[in-house]
């Protein structure tokens, strides 16, 4: 009887040990599946990073946007030296005829052989004939899809009587770029016009503010609080002779709507402001 009991006990212990081994093996399989799942997440993150929109300030009104294999130059000025670290442009967007937006010497110095220029008619009239075949002329209110990006031409003009001579309505373009799922607005030279205040669903807004040519800090903040972009980037804020108070813009926007983030980039790398 004692021997039989010992045999039963030995059988139970053996079975228990086997069950533990099975469970241990199951655990290993689960871990492997978890690693595969984590690997997939990592791959997705990498893909998302590849799709990110990078915005590079050059100076004043000049910027570069990179998204996948598309490279956009906004109002390129500063000569070839300003773009020596940048990729060759796919698109060049020019807002107006003034020298801080349209600089033919810079265009001539860049590799624009495979580039499309998006310009208002006034800018087209100022460009050399050699660029004629590369132009997409857009007037206020027009929309075009180029390089997988939908571009909207937004009015830009002055409102104050003393400033009407600087930017007349219909001559220049601001632009809204619809890139992937983001809407990015570059104001160009403008005041707080109704067309700006009525913008919808803007993710990033690059808003000018320099006297006597465009608008005051207060006007810029008021317009931003009206159209409510997710982020506002003050740019084009060097005036004559004064430089606009970017810190004050942030104070005004924060006081009016803390959901709007004010992002400060270095638009004047060669100056203290």
Reported as a single tens digit per residue, the pLDDT across 244-254 is 999 999 999 99
DSSP string, 151-211: EEEEEE---SGGGTTT--TTTEEEEEEEETTEEEEE--S--S-HHHHT--S-SEEEE---T
Task: Tell me the HSE value of 267 on the side-chain side, using a 13 A CA sphere.
Answer: 21
- Mean of the per-residue pLDDT values of the chain: 87
Q: Is 222 helix (H, G, I), strand (E, B) or coil?
A: helix
Percent of the residues in the chain that have a pLDDT greater than 90, as a whole number? 78
Exposure string of 26-44, with b = 16+ CB inside 10 Å and e = fewer, is eeeeeeeeeeeeeeeeeee
> Residue 267 pLDDT more than 60?
yes
HEC profile for 38-87?
HHHHHHHHHHHHHCCEEEEEEECCEEEEEECCEEEEECCCCCHHHHCCCC
**Predicted local confidence at residue 16, as pLDDT:** 46
Please tell me the distance from the alpha carbon of residue 105 to that of residue 124, in angstroms, as a whole number. Answer: 15
Tell me the angle at which helices 217-227 and 246-256 cross, rounded to the nearest 10 degrees: 40
Return the exposure string of 169-201: e unless at least 16 CB atoms fall within 10 Å of the residue's CB, then b. Answer: eebbbbbbbbbeeebbbbbbbbbbbebbeebee
- Residue carrying structure tokens 């309505």: 169
Q: CA 92 → CA 82, 89, 101, 136, 170, distances in Å?
A: 15, 7, 11, 10, 20
CA distance 98 to 119: 13
Per-residue pLDDT, 273 = 82
Over the stretch 179-192, which tens digit does the pLDDT of each residue have?
Answer: 999 999 999 999 99
Sign of the torsion formed by the C-alpha atoms of 57, 106, 214 and 146: negative
From CA 179, how far away is CA 224, in angstroms rounded? 21
- The answer to whether the pTM exceeds 0.85 is no
Please tell me the distance from the alpha carbon of residue 203 to that of residue 229, in angstroms, as a whole number: 5
Q: pLDDT per residue over 28-86, tens digit each?
A: 333 344 434 444 444 443 444 557 999 999 999 999 999 999 999 999 999 999 999 99
pLDDT in tens, 145-169: 999 999 999 999 999 999 999 999 9
């Amino acid at each position: 009887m004692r021997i039989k009991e010992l045999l039963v006990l030995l059988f139970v212990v053996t079975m228990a040990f086997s069950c533990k081994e099975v469970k241990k093996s199951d655990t290993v399989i689960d871990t492997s599946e978890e690693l595969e799942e984590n690997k997939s997440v990592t791959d997705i993150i990498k893909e998302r990073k590849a799709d990110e929109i990078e915005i590079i300030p050059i100076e004043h009104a000049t910027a570069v946007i990179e998204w996948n294999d598309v490279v956009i130059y906004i109002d390129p000025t500063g000569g070839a030296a300003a773009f020596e670290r940048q990729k060759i442009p796919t698109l060049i967007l020019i807002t107006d005829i003034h020298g801080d937006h349209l600089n033919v010497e810079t265009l001539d110095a860049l590799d624009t052989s495979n580039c499309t220029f998006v310009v208002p008619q006034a800018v087209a009239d100022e460009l050399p004939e050699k660029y004629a075949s590369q132009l997409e002329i857009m007037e206020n209110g027009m929309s075009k899809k180029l390089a997988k990006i939908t571009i909207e031409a937004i009015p830009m003009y002055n409102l104050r009587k003393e400033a009407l001579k600087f930017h007349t309505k219909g001559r220049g373009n601001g632009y809204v770029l619809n890139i992937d799922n983001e809407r990015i607005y570059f104001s160009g030279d403008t005041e707080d016009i109704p067309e700006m205040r009525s913008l919808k669903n803007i993710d990033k807004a690059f808003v000018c503010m320099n006297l006597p040519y465009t608008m005051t800090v207060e006007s810029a903040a008021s317009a931003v609080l009206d159209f409510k972009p997710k982020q506002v980037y003050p740019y084009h804020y060097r005036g004559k002779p004064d430089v606009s108070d970017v810190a004050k813009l942030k104070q005004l926007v924060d006081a009016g709507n803390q959901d709007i983030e004010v992002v400060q980039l270095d638009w004047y790398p060669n100056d203290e402001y």
